[in-house]
Structure 1
């Protein structure tokens, strides 16, 4: 079994498994659609799979994928800092059977260009998410956000409540103690000064349990490769933004149904942080995922998918946000 140090040595020496997200190895949901696909989602009578870049503003195109029945309720997946839309593969496959699923790359992540690090403000990221929804012709959507993605989803629910049908918040928070804010700023400074290598080991050990690190070297190496490709200035700016986050005083205004998921062993946004969200968001429901850390959708995809599907199906006959706010 290889540990994190060995995997990091592999990164420095260029020793990795075959990349799994290029060319013919693209996940099924991201492959170009053909007339006779073996993908059951692509064969849906009313569903299609689309890869696209949509110009959200005059300066940036947002990379995204969309799959599932177009007339079904829309679900938007918002990824965490440092990763990209491909890490939602298990959720896209599961939710795309009965939902119109859209995943996108945040600025400076995946195939979406970054622009100046100064662009990384909460207001700008919320505006990006809002424009992803609008540009796809969606009036209101179910939002699923992991870590940073959950913070952006909460902020949109506060800024544009009619655009949000529900929230599924995974491994996230709405504010931090002064001590935690200082640690987040220090993480940003370390990244800015030392590059992505300087934060790799601590990031992997924060995100995954020791069991996952030992048993899933393929996943850990993939994450390391993704992080090493990130722009250090963008990554640092993201941590500076997170350090300043303070939505706690406003959470009582969130009116949409909310599911909160957290890994049992998550050190970044522990169950105690999730309990605060549950207490402050009216009607929120919390589920703790056993034997998982910060990246629960990657460590326990079947459990996370089951929770998401049960939650979304329970809302099928609920009024849309647009109607409920009339």
Structure 2
């Protein structure tokens, strides 16, 4: 029996609480005796979430059982937290076998000194703040969750479900996690390294229709000729005018945007298909496996084959 203790506080994000709670409760339903989920606030009083819902905790943090997994959700209440909450986390966080944060819950862990020297992430809108206010934390703004030893941090709300499913898979096996995912009608499972934003969302959408059409063309055809000259011709602009307008309206150069799209597409194929590296490199416009290898090493610090070994889910039998 693993006790999962969820910390509650005023202006908590309700989905940060209920998403992981449903995962662990679902695992307990399909395999009795696996988890006991408990919630607690500082004084045991009900808390009002940022969306206006009221959550009634099981008790106070002082009286809560020592948890196997201590889960800290995010929300507006993390911006100016009660010092007593930070103090409790500082004292009790190191005692948990597993320390987990969802969204801006990472800010609370960082305030308590529990992320110092560790790699961590949070909601994309707060990664800069986390890095600025806590320079001892190695902030990675890209993935939907990061696992560093016994400490796991996740990005925006739904990524807490992805991380919780990964933890259930660690504890009980893939079939148990898959059963929970099916009941919740969610994927099992988005790998933690998956970007918080797709290439299209990370860049701004161009205002002018020809440039928006070019963005869509790039996304749908990463293996095509995507040099500036070819893209400019599609937008019916000169290469110089196109490059300047594209960067002005999207915030990135055409080349950088193409690089992001190709890398994202290649990662997806490595994770989801059995296609060989040579085949994927052609499909994504790299041309050769060596060109794709250089792009992966530059962006991810791992060659394609190593990336696949790390992040492609093991086959089930």
Q: TM-score range by the shorter chain?
A: under 0.3
Give the TM-score normalised by the residue count of structure 1. 0.27
Larger radius of gyration: 2
